[in-house]
Amino acid sequence: LPARPRLLPQERLTNSQAQLASALDDGMRGARATEDAERRAGELQARFGEVQSQLQSARAENSKLAALRQEVERTCAEQRLRGDHAEAEVRRISGKATRMADALAQLANVAQRAVESELQATEHLPSAPTHET
């Protein structure tokens, strides 16, 4: 093995200074990277807070919409029920009107037959003498 060259004390100091400067640069880069990471973490935390706030607002809005949907469904069900009741009432009244119309038609037929019968009976009566002046 070749012998390692011996460094003079001055060269040793310069070499140590270079290593120290390199280590200092590495440390400074690490510190900047840490600061950047901390700043980015702060930005991400702030953004996370904004997103959480938006999520809470969206959930609240969703709850309002769900309540509104339930109210609309309830109102529609009530309207359908009212419509069903109204339709049943219309059928009931219509049936009653139809029965009344049938009864009136039968009554009219009976009255017409009675009038016709009365007319026939009066045709067979002798006519009363008329006085001429």
pLDDT in tens, 24-41: 889 999 999 999 999 999
Give every CB contact of residue 7 below 8 A, 6+ residues apart in sequence.
Answer: 15
Give the tokens for residue 91: 């059928």
Share of the chain above pLDDT 90, in %: 70
Rounded CA separation 115/120 (Å): 9
pLDDT of residue 120: 86
pLDDT of residue 78: 95
Q: State the DSSP string of 41-106.
A: HHHHHHHHHHHHHHHHHHHHHHHHHHHHHHHHHHHHHHHHHHHHHHHHHHHHHHHHHHHHHHHHHH
Rounded CA separation 73/65 (Å): 12
What is the residue-averaged pLDDT of the chain? Answer: 88
Residue 7 pLDDT greater than 70, yes or no = no
pLDDT tens digits, 93-133: 999 999 999 999 999 999 999 999 988 888 776 666 666 55
Note if the pTM is more than 0.75. no
Q: Tell me the mean pLDDT in the region 19-23.
A: 87
Give the tokens for residue 88: 């049943």
